[in-house]
């Protein structure tokens, strides 16, 4: 018998309209601020290093979307797994991976998480339960479902978070995974980071159903649309979804409505949207500014916030410094790690 279902899609849209999400404690606000700042400053630095030629290939920045991973990470316990695509720097930092190791992977040095062999799009940390870092659009969705399969198989109560984009949401294997996940009640939260564009293609030009929370409807998977620019809303929806999965009720879909400020990758001229559109989101909805303003209104001093900013900048400068001075991999590494 199927477990009783919360038929969420429709009501969730309305839920969202009804007032703001539950307040954060001051500790939560401060943690969210620090974690989001860490990602923002890291990405700004990565952009700079790319321009200098220290980072090569593709480099996809997460600036603007920070509230999504930071809010979701607040719902997890140690042992829950995370997997995503190539826009992965933010996810790794949120999982607690060392900015030095991430930045050194971007510059292709031996101290990087993949010893310099993977680069920006392919990084992993078994210790932090971060399973990548995948370059092929949509592949992580089946893989993330497989992580959940392993949890179910071992009868533990860990949950897998599979992040993917609005563009990836059109790949066939996503729906093959949805079907099996619900059929076998696998504990996976599908997090669709709807940043409105897949490269230069807007959601409305690629998707027949643009309400991504409904994408699991025909498989009976519940879904919610979430304001992905408000870290509290992310956390609240994430709590529900993770609890649903942990209770053995099967998968859950969260559509995070968010926005990327930068081009798709460093080589995207971004002619498919106006500067005004970007400026408006930045000005009205910036996830970091929202928290900062609430903290200031709540009596935290400008000075305190400055010192958080300073601490984060030091970490990032240290990471950039390490990543530029760490040596390249030893040539003997060319033939290692093909088999074990």
Partner 1 sequence: MPIQVLMPALSPTMEKGNLAKWLKKEGELIKSGDVIAEIETDKATMEVEATDEGTLGKILIPEGTADVAVNTPIATILADGESASDLAKAASPAKQEKAAESAPPAAAKTEAPAPKAEEKTPAAPKAVSEPEPEVPAGTEMMTQTIREALRDAMAEEMRRDPDVFLIGEEVAEYQGAYKVSQGLLQEFGARRVIDTPITEHGFAGIGIGAAMAGLKPVVEFMTFNFAMQAMDQLINSAAKTLYMSGGQMGCSIVFRGPNGAAARVAAQHSQDYSSWYSHIPGLKVVAPFSAADYKGLLKAAIRDPNPVIFLENEVLYGHSGEVPKLDDYIVPIGKARVARKGQHVTIISWSNGMTYSLKAADELAKEGIEAEVVDLRTLRPMDTETIVASIQKTGRAVTVEEGWQQSGVGAEIAARIMEHAFDYLDAPVARVSGKDVPMPYAANLEKMALPSVAEVVEAAKAVCYR
Among 49, 198, 231, 245, binds ligand TPP (CB under 6 A): 198
**Residue 87 binds which of Mg ion, partner 1, ligand TPP, none (CB < 5-8 A, kind-dependent):** ligand TPP
Phi, psi of 251, rounded to the nearest 5 degrees: -75, 170
Among 36, 82, 137, 188, binds partner 1 (CB under 8 A): 137
C-beta of residue 187 within 8 angstroms of C-beta of residue 248: yes
Q: Which of residues 206-235 bind partner 1 (CB under 8 A)?
A: 206-207
3-class secondary structure, 323? helix
Find residue 237's DSSP bridge partners.
Answer: none
Among 59, 104, 137, 217, binds ligand TPP (CB under 6 A): 137
Size of the site for ligand TPP (CB under 6 A): 14
Name the strands in the sheet holding 188-194, side by side, starting at the edge strand that comes first in the sequence.
81-83, 160-165, 188-194, 252-257, 223-227
Strand runs labelled E in the chain: 81-83, 160-165, 188-194, 197-198, 201-202, 223-227, 252-257
Tell me the CA end-to-end span of the chain in Å, nearest whole number. Answer: 44
Size of the site for partner 1 (CB under 8 A): 56
The CA-CA-CA angle for residues 301, 304, 306, to 5°, reads 110
Q: Does 84 bind Mg ion (CB under 5 A)?
A: no
Q: To the nearest whole angstrom, how small is the minimum distance from the Cβ of residue 52 to partner 1?
A: 6
Closest of 135, 31, 155, 153 to residue 83, by C-alpha:
135
Q: To the nearest whole angstrom, how small is the minimum distance from the Cβ of residue 5 to ligand TPP?
A: 27
Cα 116 to Cα 49, 63, 89, 105, 329: the distances in Å are 16, 23, 15, 5, 6
Among 195, 207, 285, 290, binds Mg ion (CB under 5 A): 195
Q: Does 296 bind ligand TPP (CB under 6 A)?
A: no
Any idea which residue has 């533990």 for tokens? 156
C-beta of residue 256 within 8 angstroms of C-beta of residue 190: no
Q: To the nearest whole angstrom, how small is the minimum distance from the Cβ of residue 281 to ligand TPP?
A: 14
Site map 57..96 versus partner 1, x via CB under 8 A: xx--------------------------------------
Q: Does 272 bind partner 1 (CB under 8 A)?
A: yes
Among 156, 209, 267, 317, binds partner 1 (CB under 8 A): 267
Contact set with partner 1 (CB under 8 A): 44, 47-48, 50-54, 56-58, 105, 108-109, 114, 116-122, 134-138, 167-168, 170-172, 198-201, 205-207, 266-267, 269, 271-272, 275, 324-325, 327-329, 331-335, 338
Contact residues toward ligand TPP (CB under 6 A) are 87, 135-137, 165-168, 193, 195, 197-199, 264
């Amino acid at each position: 018998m199927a477990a009783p279902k919360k038929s969420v899609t429709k009501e969730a849209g309305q839920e969202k309209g009804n007032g703001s999400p539950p307040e954060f404690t001051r500790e939560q606000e401060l943690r969210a601020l620090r974690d989001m700042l860490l990602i923002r400053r890291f990405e700004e630095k990565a952009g700079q290093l790319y321009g200098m030629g220290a980072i090569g290939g593709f480099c996809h920045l997460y600036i603007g979307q920070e509230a999504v991973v930071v809010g979701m990470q607040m719902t997890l316990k140690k042992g829950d797994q995370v997997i995503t695509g190539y826009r992965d720097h933010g996810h790794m930092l949120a999982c607690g991976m060392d900015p030095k190791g991430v930045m050194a992977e971007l510059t292709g040095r031996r101290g990087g998480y993949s010893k310099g062999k993977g680069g920006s799009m392919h990084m992993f940390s078994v210790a932090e339960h971060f399973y990548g870092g995948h370059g092929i659009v949509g592949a992580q969705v089946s893989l993330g479902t497989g992580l959940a399969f392993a949890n179910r198989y071992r009868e533990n109560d860990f949950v897998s978070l599979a992040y993917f984009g609005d563009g990836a949401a059109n790949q066939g294997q996503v729906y093959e995974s949805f079907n099996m996940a619900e059929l076998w009640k696998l504990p996976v939260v599908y997090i669709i980071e709807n940043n409105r564009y897949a490269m230069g293609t807007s959601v409305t030009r690629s998707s027949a159903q643009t309400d991504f929370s409904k994408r699991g409807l025909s498989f009976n998977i519940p879904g919610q649309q979430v304001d992905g620019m408000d870290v509290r809303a992310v956390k609240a929806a994430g709590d529900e979804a993770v609890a649903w999965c942990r209770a053995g009720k099967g998968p859950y879909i969260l559509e995070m409505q968010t926005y990327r400020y930068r081009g798709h990758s460093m080589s995207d001229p971004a002619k498919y949207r106006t500067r005004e559109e970007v400026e408006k989101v930045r000005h009205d909805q910036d996830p970091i500014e929202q928290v900062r303003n609430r903290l200031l209104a709540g009596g935290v001093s400008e000075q305190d916030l400055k010192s958080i900013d300073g601490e984060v900048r030091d970490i990032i400068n240290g990471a950039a410094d390490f990543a530029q001075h760490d040596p390249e991999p030893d040539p003997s590494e060319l033939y290692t790690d093909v088999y074990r």
